[in-house]
Amino acid sequence: MRIGIIGTGMVGKALAAKLVEVGHDIMIGTRDVSQTLSSPNKDVAGNPAFGEWQKQNPKVKLGTFEQAAKHGEVIISATSGAASLEPLKLAGTANLKGKILVDISNPLDFSKGMPPTLSVCNTDSLGEQIQRTFPDARVVKTLNTTNASMMVNPRQLAGGDHTLFVSGNDASAKAAVTGYLKEWFGWEDVIDMGDISTARGTEMLLPIWVRLYGVLKTPVFNFKIVR
């Protein structure tokens, strides 16, 4: 499958590497290709700069946001939550129309330092904002309640016996994404939360996640719904 990933950070790179590994045709989108390739900056986790990383992952293509959106049969939004809408607008409304748009971003606001707050919560969510802005895209919120390494390798913890959530208005899109999560990454327990407004709840798990990270001193943990 052709998949376009919007965002060159830690999450986008983790997803791209795994998806290429399992046989998909991946293009990551960025604002400025040459600048992204030449930047010496490591990502927030201290991983290699994108240019160095791509040399280690030569099958992953790099293009503009628009090129990545055109490339993908499925689009994954993996940018910083506070900046998610602008890259998707640059990707082009027409290039998102009718496609599954997997939103894995969180509206984390670091403007006042740590711990971050949420820039939107309670009565709205980033997932809903994306769906309203791109009404013809089939937005599915998922993967936002765990860290990048866990997204692509859930079996590293408790043999994969923990939980992921999906939210979205399109039932067939959610069913397709649930299948992708299981096939691509090995997720087993995926709960359909309901329409896109339920993304409010999953996004609001992030303040708890951040605090747990501070206590546990590792991102290798996740939520499990016992039922």
Q: What is the pLDDT of residue 112?
A: 80
Q: What is the pLDDT of residue 82?
A: 78
Q: What is the pLDDT of residue 28?
A: 98
Reduce the secondary structure of the chain to three states and give it as a string. Answer: CEEEEECCCHHHHHHHHHHHHCCCEEEEEECCHHHHHHCCCCCCCCCCCHHHHHHHCCCCEEEEHHHHHHHCCEEEECCCHHHCHHHHHHHCHHHHCCCEEEECCCCEECCCCCCCEECCCCCCCHHHHHHHHCCCCEEEEECCCCCHHHHHCHHHCHHHCCEEEEECCCHHHHHHHHHHHHHHHCCCEEEEEECHHHHHHHHCCHHHHHHHHHHHCCCCCCCCCCC
- The architecture in CATH of the region 2-216 reads 3-Layer(aba) Sandwich (3.40)
Q: What is the pLDDT of residue 109?
A: 82
- Tell me the mean pLDDT in the region 64-73: 98
For 23-64, how does the pLDDT look when each residue is reduced to its tens digit (9 = 90+)? 999 999 999 999 999 998 887 777 888 999 999 999 999 999
- pLDDT above 90: residue 13: yes
Q: What is the pLDDT of residue 42?
A: 80
| pLDDT bracket for residue 167 (50, 70, 90) | very high
Whole-angstrom distance, CA of residue 221 vs CA of residue 164: 12
| pLDDT bracket for residue 216 (50, 70, 90) | very high
Q: What is the pLDDT of residue 83?
A: 85
Q: Among 1, 44, 37, which residue's Cα sits nearest to residue 19?
A: 1
On average, the pLDDT of the chain sits at 95
Tokens of 182: 């299981």
Q: Using the structure block, give the residue that is written with the tokens 């984390």.
A: 108
- pLDDT above 80: residue 213: yes
- pLDDT above 80: residue 225: yes
For 77-110, how does the pLDDT look when each residue is reduced to its tens digit (9 = 90+)? 999 877 899 999 999 999 999 999 999 999 988 8
Q: What is the pLDDT of residue 195?
A: 98
Domain residues of the chain, as ranges? 2-216
Strand partners, 4: 27, 75
Q: Are strands 117-118 and 138-142 parallel, antiparallel or unpaired?
A: unpaired
Q: Are 154 and 222 in contact (CB under 8 A)?
A: yes
For 109-164, how does the pLDDT look when each residue is reduced to its tens digit (9 = 90+)? 888 888 888 889 999 999 999 999 999 999 999 999 999 999 999 999 999 999 99
Q: Are 145 and 165 in contact (CB under 8 A)?
A: yes
- Tell me the mean pLDDT in the region 67-73: 98
CA angle, residues 177, 182, 187, in degrees to nearest 5: 110
Q: What is the pLDDT of residue 117?
A: 83
Q: What is the pLDDT of residue 46?
A: 79
Q: Which amino acid is at 144?
A: N
Q: Using the structure block, give the residue that is written with the tokens 């991946």.
A: 26
Q: What is the pLDDT of residue 72?
A: 98
For 186-205, how does the pLDDT look when each residue is reduced to its tens digit (9 = 90+)? 999 999 999 999 999 999 99
